[in-house]
Amino acid sequence: MKRLNERKTDEIRKTNIIKDFIRTAPGSALIEVGDTRVITTATFLDKVPAWMEGSGKGWLSAEYAMLPGSTPTRKNRDTKFVDSRSIEIQRLIGRSLRAVVDLSLIGNRAVMIDCDVIQADGGTRTASITGAFVSLCLAMEKLMQKGELKIPPIKDYIAAVSVGYINGEPILDLCYQEDYAADVDMNVVMLGSGDFVEIQGTGENDSFSKDQLGCMLSYAEKGIKELFEIQKSVLGELSCIKK
């Protein structure tokens, strides 16, 4: 299959992460995945949700939004209510990042992850997770350097990528046009250990077999391992990540 930008079927889009993109946030990054661009930040609140008070653990949650100019047709701001798609995505981001944080080590504080899509060309949720991990690590590193955390709270790396089938062929890291044409679409979130945190697979226009599922997971694993290397090159050696 001939893809846009002459990519191979198992090739991720060109991915770039710029750390410390927002000066005022403890942790921030701009992630560019092809033509998709997302600003991610990590900030702290000096309290946990009411239902967690007294638990001795911290918390992490996420918010996600697509800015009005991020799509060809202006997207309305989520000023009165958050649409169901955004709610689903921000819950995915929160679940994913909680999987790599030892919440018992961060004290009576909440970590707030914000993901704002400034340009969308497919894979915004997976890009958000991959970029938000960088922001999270940078924020945690500041607490380690201040001596507010004594033990590294980040348990592992985490990244995500999309994969699917178009006209019977597996395709890694779908842009918008490919996502729109896909018969099967899947988002995969994986840890550095190789364990999966979440697999969201949908037969958009066709069902898929167990063999096709295995192929998509293999493609996703290949792509995510490449994303780990990009994250590591951006972060370098940090004391907040367990060795």
Q: Buried (b) or exposed (e) across 52-72, using 16+ Cβ within 10 A?
A: eeeeeebbbbbbbbbeeebee
- 3-state SS assignment for residue 58: coil
pLDDT in tens, 31-44: 999 999 999 999 99
How far apart are the C-alpha atoms of 217 and 219, rounded to whole Å? Answer: 5
Confidence of residue 107 (pLDDT cuts 50, 70, 90): confident
User: Which H helix or E strand runs over 16?
Assistant: strand 15-19
Say if CB 25 and CB 116 are below 8 A apart: no
Domain ranges within the chain, ordered by starting residue: 4-235
Contact yes or no for 185/202 (Cβ under 8 A): yes
1 vs 37 pLDDT, higher one: 37
Average pLDDT, the chain: 92
CB 59 within 8 A of CB 48: yes
Please state the rounded mean pLDDT for residues 206-218.
92
At 20, the pLDDT band (50, 70, 90 cuts) reads very high
Residue 216: per-residue pLDDT: 94
Taking residues 88-98, report their average pLDDT: 96
Residues 91-97 have a mean pLDDT of 97
**How confident is the model over 78-102, as a mean pLDDT?**
89
Q: What are phi and psi of 45, to 5 degrees?
A: -115, 140
Q: Is the pLDDT of residue 100 over 90?
A: yes
pLDDT in the model for residue 221: 97
d(CA 184, CA 11): 18
Q: Classify 207 as helix, strand or coil.
A: coil
Answer with the residue of higher pLDDT: 78 or 197.
Answer: 197
- Note the pLDDT of residue 81: 72
- DSSP annotation of 188: E
Whether the pLDDT of residue 131 is over 80: the answer is: yes
Give this prediction's pTM: 0.94
The whole-number average pLDDT for the span 67-89 is: 81
> Superfamily for 4-235?
GHMP Kinase, N-terminal domain (3.30.230.70)
pLDDT bucket at 2, cuts 50 / 70 / 90: low
Tell me the per-residue pLDDT of 227-237, one tens digit each, with 9 for 90 and over: 999 999 999 99
